[in-house]
A = this chain, B = another copy of it.
């Protein structure tokens, strides 16, 4: 959205010239502002309409937040300045006193009426989340949706377009028509609550943020030892549901399975008391500490799995359930007598056959009801050691490795895919390592590049640069660098897919693995970056002309971060105050289409 106040500088170059500052995030698929002037919003403004417990609560919550917040945009998109080589001083107009002055006295918005056609559609993958939102010049407001969940989205947009008028009143800047629906059905964040515990209160704050940005799914990876009560879980699921956010769990099996399981049946866990480290390969039993995997060939393992699964599954309402299967380590099974016996009894068997044994026994346990949809980490199909032979095609694969390559591999095979590519979407990267006694940091001077390598680089200009661990390199974070909001927003995760393959991509999730996360740093690691993910998944990352709209998101996300703070979500600052206050002055490139199409 471009702003017309900077009349002197290049307005003619703009194709979209809506005279509004406010710009909802995620931006709606279709939004059309009129030009007849602002509509006053009555101080006793109400939201009414179709009655339903969830809707009634949402009406009240939205109206309350609008009245409390009275948000005046802190920053909005300006055209980029066009500095001459020897510029004279150019005043751009004082945006502290902008177009919030003259209300159209005739029109006052007193009520927004919400109508929902079908109250029975459940909050599950693929439910209709569309809505329309209209504010007319005469002050009529309406939201229409096919489902409760669409209406909730409409209310979030309404919340964002009613702003403070700078004088204690409320307004909508211009009459507006919005027709909106999401590009992808599955739009989520994964919280790891096993590595460090995250209290329910902090998770609720994340659900709030997700509902503001129309993200609809949160997954909590947890270990049975953690101390959420059943009541906590039921409460959290309900909290999400009231905000249109699905909550479903992952129990990682059979890898990464130790502490909790040990306390129920120590024999079902193998190699828990081994050593994970990297300097003794004859001891090495895990990709990361702590070691411990469920013993695939030990029959009572499946009784244990059944008990744990049933206890957890009954607490969640979602069809989805994530049953893990990442980073299984073969040498861990050297510690298991039953598993070694199985290999002795099946001398032709591969580890893939061994994984298949697990699937054949475990999957029937997980298919506990008709609509159950299981999710697994892609490793079950792509891992070098443990790729199982006959993974059912109805299992949703969550892809974290090798970006586009693995998405292609999986969709080609007919799997539905949730994209969580580490190189783009992992929120925990770039903070250095969390393992101890790691001498790789202990380097005082940059190593000198061998001459042959330096010569090769000099002769072959390349995107690659030689870096070392400590000098511009990854510094202990296996998935470095830190994924900026630009990186997340720019990810074209269906690139290179056929139409058929692309249909298999049901959405994406940004994982936040929690080795270096707890409630104290949770908010700023998630926000405002998750808002960039949200828009990429809701309405995409390109403008009407097909260009990546990174510069348009810049002001939108800067403003949104300030708004999150007011909503008590401690989002991280993205730039200096100067850059926030002066759109484009901190652009690396003046060319506003540098990101291309």
A residues at B contact (CB < 8 Å): 81, 83, 85-90, 195-197, 259, 273-280, 282-283, 289-290, 335, 403-405, 423, 430-447, 449-450, 452-453, 455-457, 459-460, 462-477, 480-484, 486-487, 490-492, 495, 514-518, 520-521, 524, 548, 550-551, 554, 565, 570-579, 582-592, 594-596
Residues from chain B with Cβ under 8 Å of A571 in the complex: 520
- How often does this chain occur in the complex, in copies? 2
What are 24 A-B contacts defined by CB distance under 8 Å? A83-B274, A87-B274, A275-B590, A276-B586, A277-B589, A289-B586, A405-B445, A436-B586, A437-B587, A438-B588, A439-B550, A441-B490, A442-B595, A453-B462, A455-B456, A470-B481, A473-B480, A475-B480, A475-B487, A477-B481, A515-B575, A516-B572, A518-B573, A520-B570
Q: What 10 A-B pairs are tightest by C-beta distance, nearest first?
A: A475-B481, A432-B484, A437-B587, A447-B463, A456-B456, A195-B576, A450-B460, A83-B275, A438-B588, A464-B466
* Distance, CA A335 to CA B88, complexed state (A): 10
Known contacts A404-B444, A484-B432, A570-B520; is A471 also within 8 Å of B575 by CB? no
B462 touches A449 (CB 8 A): yes
* Distance, CA A578 to CA B256, complexed state (A): 13
B433 touches A484 (CB 8 A): yes
Closest to A485 in B: B432
Q: Quote the shortest CB–CB distance from A400 to chain B (angstroms).
A: 15
Closest to A192 in B: B576
* Distance, CA A474 to CA B482, complexed state (A): 8
* Distance, CA A86 to CA B270, complexed state (A): 11
A463 touches B472 (CB 8 A): no
B470 touches A473 (CB 8 A): no
* Distance, CA A322 to CA B154, complexed state (A): 54
A577 touches B441 (CB 8 A): no
* Distance, CA A595 to CA B437, complexed state (A): 8
Known contacts A274-B83, A447-B462; is A590 also within 8 Å of B279 by CB? yes
Q: Quote the shortest CB–CB distance from A462 to chain B (angstroms).
A: 5
Besides the known contacts A437-B584, A473-B474, A475-B480, 16 further A-B residue pairs in the complex with CB atoms under 8 A apart: A430-B432, A430-B481, A433-B484, A436-B575, A436-B586, A437-B587, A442-B486, A442-B490, A442-B596, A450-B460, A453-B453, A453-B460, A455-B456, A462-B466, A470-B481, A473-B481
Q: Quote the shortest CB–CB distance from A512 to chain B (angstroms).
A: 13
* Distance, CA A548 to CA B85, complexed state (A): 54
* Distance, CA A181 to CA B586, complexed state (A): 46
Q: Quote the shortest CB–CB distance from A513 to chain B (angstroms).
A: 10
Name A481's contact: one of B480, B583, B588 (CB within 8 Å): B480
